[in-house]
């Protein structure tokens, strides 16, 4: 078997193992939360018999290990359980939220990643000249301002004053793609500003690091243009660090956008999670935690695999 294949399979196996470990942590974490689910469902006036019945019905009397495996077994089969508060199937109601979140994250990434890498390359090309300083300054400023503030400022100027986009980012299935894009334009802009600086600065640093190498001098002495030197000789050797920081930011776009969702009233995963935490709806919280963990681990696994594939020494062994 090709050594790269072995490495990739190892990474995937490790990712799965990590996911199982995360599920244990999530389950244990929700177990040790104070309070009693049956009590919170039935309220203070419930009779002891009713509480006991409900506990038995919910399986709360089983030992934790049994409950964990019951839960895990269900998850593997695609059954995330039912929400305690409204009795709905979690997988169904979360599915719509998740697809909304992924929709927003996808378009934010589609704008932010190419822009960040392009700006990073531009900053290298004009290193220590005004374009570099301008890019660094603007991106640093945008990462330093809290995202909700940027959100409200954009909302005020772009939506209220100019009236270009709507202030709330409500989307539903009856909208066309263009209508949806128009609805999420502002949150995408805010998210782009938030993740841009990190990726752009890493791109710049990674390429500048490679630019010290002897083979860059060779390329310069071949009389290649500065663009060719950077794009053909420096960039391929800087992929691994860039991909890592890109994936961390993509993960942030999926799991860390609660504030933006609240600001723009966007029906995504973040709001869904926050709602159910406040209602102490444990199965929903567990399911959300598991999905977030899966996204995080999955994206970082992809970063690892891309780094492995980007290394010619691993791809083409002696």
| Residue ranges that bind another protein, judged by CB under 8 A | 213-215, 217-225, 228, 232-233, 236-237, 310, 312-313, 316, 318
* Residue found by looking up tokens 């199965």 in the block: 283
Instruction: Using the minimum distance from each CB to another protein, give the nearer residue, 179 or 217.
Output: 217
Distance CA 204, CA 231 (A): 12
Q: Which residues are paired to 76 by β-bridges?
A: none
Nearer to another protein, 137 or 312 (CB): 312
Helices (H), 32-63: 37-42, 48-58
8 A C-beta contact, residue 132 and residue 273: no
- Taking the complex as a whole, the smallest distance from the CB of residue 227 to another protein amounts, in Å, to 12
Q: How many residues does the chain have?
A: 318
* Shortest Å distance, C-beta 315 to another protein: 8
Tokens in use for 158? Answer: 């772009």
Minimum CB–partner distance for residue 155 and another protein (Å) = 45
Nearer of residues 82 and 237 to another protein, judged by Cβ: 237
CB 198 to another protein: min, Å: 24
Q: Which among 68, 58, 73 has a CA at the least distance from the CA of 27?
A: 68
Query: Which tokens hold the place of 308?
Result: 């492995």
- Taking the least distance from each CB to another protein, the nearer of 38 and 229 is 229
CB of 228 to another protein, least distance (A): 7
Closest distance to another protein from the beta carbon of 242 (Å): 13
| Cβ-based nearer residue to another protein, 302 or 310 | 310
Nearer to another protein, 92 or 218 (CB): 218
Long-range contacts of 91-98 (CB under 8 A, 24+ apart): 91/287, 93/272, 94/269, 94/272, 94/284, 94/287, 94/288, 94/291, 96/267, 97/267, 97/268, 97/269, 97/271, 97/272, 98/269, 98/291
């Amino acid at each position: 078997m090709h050594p790269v294949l072995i490495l990739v399979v190892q990474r995937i196996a490790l990712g799965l193992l990590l996911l199982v470990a995360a599920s244990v942590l999530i389950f244990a974490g929700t177990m040790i939360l104070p309070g009693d689910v049956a009590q919170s469902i039935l309220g203070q006036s419930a009779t002891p018999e009713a509480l006991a019945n409900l506990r038995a019905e919910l399986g709360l009397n089983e030992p934790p290990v049994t409950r964990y495996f019951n839960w895990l077994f269900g998850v593997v089969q695609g059954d995330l359980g039912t929400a305690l508060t409204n009795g709905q199937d979690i997988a169904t109601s979360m599915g719509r939220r998740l697809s909304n979140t992924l929709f927003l994250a996808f378009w934010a990434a589609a704008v932010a990643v190419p822009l960040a890498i392009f700006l990073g390359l531009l900053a290298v090309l004009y290193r220590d000249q005004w374009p570099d300083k301008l890019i660094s300054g603007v991106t640093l400023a945008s990462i330093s301002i809290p995202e909700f503030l940027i959100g409200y400022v954009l909302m005020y100027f772009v939506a209220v004053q100019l009236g270009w986009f709507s202030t709330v980012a409500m989307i539903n299935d009856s909208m066309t793609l263009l209508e949806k894009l128009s609805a999420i334009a502002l949150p995408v802009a805010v998210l782009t500003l938030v993740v841009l600086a990190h990726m752009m600065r890493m791109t710049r640093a990674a390429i500048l690091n490679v630019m010290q190498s002897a083979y860059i001098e060779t390329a310069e002495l071949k009389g290649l243009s500065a663009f060719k030197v950077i794009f053909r000789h420096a960039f391929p050797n800087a992929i691994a660090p860039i991909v890592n920081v890109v994936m961390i930011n993509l993960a942030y776009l999926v799991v860390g956008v609660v504030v933006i969702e609240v600001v723009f009233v966007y029906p995504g995963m973040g709001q869904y999670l926050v709602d159910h935490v406040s209602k102490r709806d444990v199965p929903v919280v567990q399911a959300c935690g598991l999905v977030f963990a899966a996204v995080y681990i999955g994206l970082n696994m992809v970063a690892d695999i891309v780094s492995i594939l980007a290394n010619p020494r691993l791809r083409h062994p002696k």
